[in-house]
């Protein structure tokens, strides 16, 4: 078999077209084909930089079927680039399937450093950016969303989320239910005219939602879990909440332990006391 082409993953601006890199433009000019999430949207970018390379659509609904075609082109020794609507493909955008398949076939994958929304948001947030955890969008389904949030509750690293404007307040209500009140930074419209940072807390926004202009695009940076000493009264209250919704004693213990990180023995003895008081 002849030599394969290279698969390039190219970041595009998240608002300010000036954030396209020189190397990114050169690669997009030189590849044989560009797989774009939305060819109409990317058409504007290509026009601005006089890139005349043909495009095909490559989005989450046709990703699997497009992989075959793109691998065929790479197999002929031609280079292909993948771009998304904004930022870096693979970050809450398609590209993982083609990347994995290319690696499996020993095709070289070159990802260019470039624009993405969460890095500027994290750095300007002023919260700890030495260690962070990128979550992206929460799942739509309530059970999956809750499961994920509960798995994050004890993480001390800064948490990074993406959310759409019309769901932002609901998102804050959901994270408050699991995390309690925390410091947050809401980064809006990065690199655009109305770029704004709201350095605040979950409670502050929930008591005064009007403080946020709910238009545009948002990254939400949430402070990681702080060391917290739970009093017996707090733990008992949490256990009671779980028992009240019909959980068995063992399930209630597991849940409270998972949410607080307090030792199983301690939670167990408090649960026994509740049961004894009920007798
Ligand atoms: N691939 C992109 C990246 O590298 O960041 C993310 C794509 S994801 C489909 C779109 C989400 O990214 C938006 O809903 C928003 O949460 C975030 N985002 C994209 N552009 C943004 C911007 N200019 N300002 C704030 N958030 C942005």
CATH number at residue 96: 3.40.1010.10
Q: What is the pLDDT of residues 33-60, one digit of tens each?
A: 999 999 999 999 999 999 999 999 999 8
Is the minimum distance from the CB of 218 to ligand 1 under 6 angstroms?
Answer: yes
Which of 9, 41, 61, 92 for a ligand 1 pocket mutation test, highest count of atoms within 8 Å of Cβ? 92
For residue 2, being part of any structural domain is answered with: no
From the CB of residue 86, how many other CB atoms can be counted at a distance below 10 Å?
Answer: 23
For residue 75, being part of any structural domain is answered with: yes
Average pLDDT over residues 207-226: 97
Residues 29 and 104 in one domain: yes
194 pLDDT above the threshold of 90: yes
pLDDT of res. 247: 92
Is the minimum distance from the CB of 191 to ligand 1 under 6 angstroms?
Answer: yes
2 pLDDT above the threshold of 80: no
For residue 199, being part of any structural domain is answered with: yes
Residues 201 and 171 in one domain: yes
pLDDT of res. 261: 87
Residues 47 and 74 in one domain: yes
Residues 93 and 156 in one domain: no
Residues 6+ apart with CB under 8 A from 256: 235, 238, 239, 242, 262, 267
Q: Which atom of ligand 1 is nearest to the CA of 11?
A: 4
Is the minimum distance from the CB of 161 to ligand 1 under 6 angstroms?
Answer: no
Is the minimum distance from the CB of 111 to ligand 1 under 6 angstroms?
Answer: no
pLDDT of res. 92: 97
CA 163 to ligand 1 centroid distance, Å = 8
For residue 1, being part of any structural domain is answered with: no
| Closest to 39 (Cα-Cα) out of 88, 84, 99, 70 | 84
Domain of 200: which CATH number? 3.30.950.10
- Residue 147, classified by CB atoms within 10 Å of its CB into exposed (0-12), middle (13-18) or buried (19+), is exposed
Spatial separation of the C-alpha atoms in residues 70 and 56, rounded to whole Å: 10
Rg (the chain; Cα; Å): 24
Confidence of residue 277 (pLDDT cuts 50, 70, 90): confident
pLDDT of res. 214: 96
Spatial separation of the C-alpha atoms in residues 271 and 6, rounded to whole Å: 60
Which of 99, 140, 162, 168 for a ligand 1 pocket mutation test, highest count of atoms within 8 Å of Cβ? 162
Q: What is the pLDDT of residues 75-91, one digit of tens each?
A: 999 999 999 999 999 99
∠ Cα 242 235 273 (to 5°): 85
For residue 227, being part of any structural domain is answered with: no
Confidence of residue 196 (pLDDT cuts 50, 70, 90): very high
Is the minimum distance from the CB of 189 to ligand 1 under 6 angstroms?
Answer: yes
Residues 94 and 172 in one domain: no
Q: Which atom of ligand 1 is nearest to the CA of 121?
A: 25
pLDDT of res. 204: 98
**Against a cut of 0.85, is the pTM above it?**
yes
Residues 13 and 85 in one domain: yes
CA 129 to ligand 1 centroid distance, Å = 18
Instruction: Show the 3-state SS of the chain.
Output: CCCCCCEEECCECCCCHHHCCHHHHHHHHHCCEEEECCHHHHHHHHHHCCCCCCEEECCCCCHHHHHHHHHHHHHCCCCEEEECCCECCCCCCCCHHHHHHHHHCCCCEEECCCCCCHHHHHHHHCCCCCCEEEEECCCCCHHHHHHHHHHHCCCCCEEEEEECHHHHHHHHHHHHHHHCCCEEEEEECCCCCCCEEEEEEHHHHHHCHHHCCCCCCEEEEECCCCCCCCCHHHHHHHHHHHHHCCCCHHHHHHHHHHHHCCCHHHHHHHHHHHHHHHC
CA 6 to ligand 1 centroid distance, Å = 26
Is the minimum distance from the CB of 190 to ligand 1 under 6 angstroms?
Answer: yes
Nearest-10 Cα torsion for 222, 225, 227, 229: 110
Residues 123 and 213 in one domain: yes
Is the minimum distance from the CB of 196 to ligand 1 under 6 angstroms?
Answer: no
Average pLDDT over residues 170-197: 97
Is the minimum distance from the CB of 164 to ligand 1 under 6 angstroms?
Answer: yes
190 pLDDT above the threshold of 90: yes
Spatial separation of the C-alpha atoms in residues 77 and 9, rounded to whole Å: 17
For residue 60, being part of any structural domain is answered with: yes
Residues 97 and 25 in one domain: yes
- Identify the residue whose C-alpha is closest to ligand 1 atom 16: 162
User: Which domain range does residue 66 map to?
Assistant: 7-111
Whether residue 104 contacts residue 58, with contact meaning beta carbons closer than 8 Å, is answered with no
């Amino acid at each position: 078999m002849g030599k394969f082409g290279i698969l390039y993953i190219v970041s595009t601006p998240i608002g300010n077209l000036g954030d396209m890199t020189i190397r990114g433009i050169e690669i997009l000019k030189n590849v044989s084909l560009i797989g774009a999430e939305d060819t109409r949207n990317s058409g504007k970018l290509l026009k601005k930089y006089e890139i005349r390379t043909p495009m095909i659509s490559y989005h989450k609904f046709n990703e699997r079927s497009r992989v075959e075609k793109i691998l065929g082109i790479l197999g002929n020794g031609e280079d292909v680039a993948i771009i998304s609507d904004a930022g870096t493909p693979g970050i809450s955008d398609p590209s993982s399937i083609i990347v994995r398949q290319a690696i499996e076939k020993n095709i070289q994958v070159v990802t260019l450093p470039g624009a993405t929304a969460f890095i500027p948001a994290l750095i300007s947030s002023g919260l700890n950016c030495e260690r962070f955890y990128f979550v992206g969008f929460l799942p739509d389904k309530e059970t999956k969303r809750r499961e994920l949030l509960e798995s994050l509750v004890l993480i001390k690293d800064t948490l990074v989320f993406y959310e759409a404007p019309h769901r932002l307040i609901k998102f804050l209500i959901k994270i408050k239910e699991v995390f309690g009140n925390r410091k947050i930074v809401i980064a809006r419209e990065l690199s655009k005219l109305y770029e704004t940072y709201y350095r605040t807390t979950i409670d502050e926004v929930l008591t005064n939602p009007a403080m946020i202009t709910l238009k545009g695009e948002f990254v939400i940076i949430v402070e990681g879990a702080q060391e917290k000493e739970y009093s017996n009264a707090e733990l008992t209250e949490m256990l009671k909440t779980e028992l009240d919704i019909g959980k068995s004693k063992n399930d209630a213990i597991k849940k409270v332990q998972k949410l607080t990180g307090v030792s199983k023995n301690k939670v167990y003895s408090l649960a026994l006391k509740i049961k004894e008081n009920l007798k």
